[in-house]
Amino acid sequence: MLNLIKRDVILQKRQLLFYIPFIVFFILMGAPPVLIFLVASIFIPFNTYAYDEKVETNILLNSLPYTRTEIIASRYLGAIAYMILSIGVTSVALLAFNKHFTMADIAIGSGLFLLFAALTFPLFQIFKQGYITTVILISFILLTWISRPIALYINEHLTAIIDFVDNTSVTVLYIGATFFIMLIYIISWGITHSIYQRKAF
- Provide the binding-site residues for another protein, judged by CB under 8 A: 3, 6-7, 10-11, 13-14, 51, 56-57, 59-60, 62-67, 198, 200-201
Distances (CA, A) of 124 to 55, 106, 121, 130: 12, 26, 5, 10
The whole-angstrom separation of Cα 84 and Cα 32 is 19
CA distance 16 to 90: 14
Q: Tell me the C-alpha distance between 122 and 124, whole Å.
A: 5
| Beta carbon nearer to another protein, 11 or 184 | 11
Q: How far is the CB of 64 from another protein (least distance, A)?
A: 4
Q: Quote the crossing angle between the two packed helices 68-96 and 103-126, to the nearest 10°.
A: 150
Among 52, 51, 44, smallest CA distance to 72 is for 52
Using the minimum distance from each CB to another protein, give the nearer residue, 19 or 101: 19
Nearer to another protein, 11 or 106 (CB): 11
Shortest CB 5 distance to another protein, Å: 11
In the bound complex, what is the minimum distance in angstroms from residue 53's beta carbon to another protein? 13
Residue placing its CB nearer to another protein in the complex, 67 or 171: 67
Could you tell me the smallest distance in angstroms from the CB atom of residue 88 to another protein?
24
- Between residues 26 and 43, which has the closer beta carbon with respect to another protein? 43
Q: What residues have CB less than 8 Å from 65, skipping those under 6 apart? A: none
Phi and psi for 199 in degrees, rounded to 5?
A: -70, 150
> At closest approach, how far in Å is the CB of 14 from another protein?
8
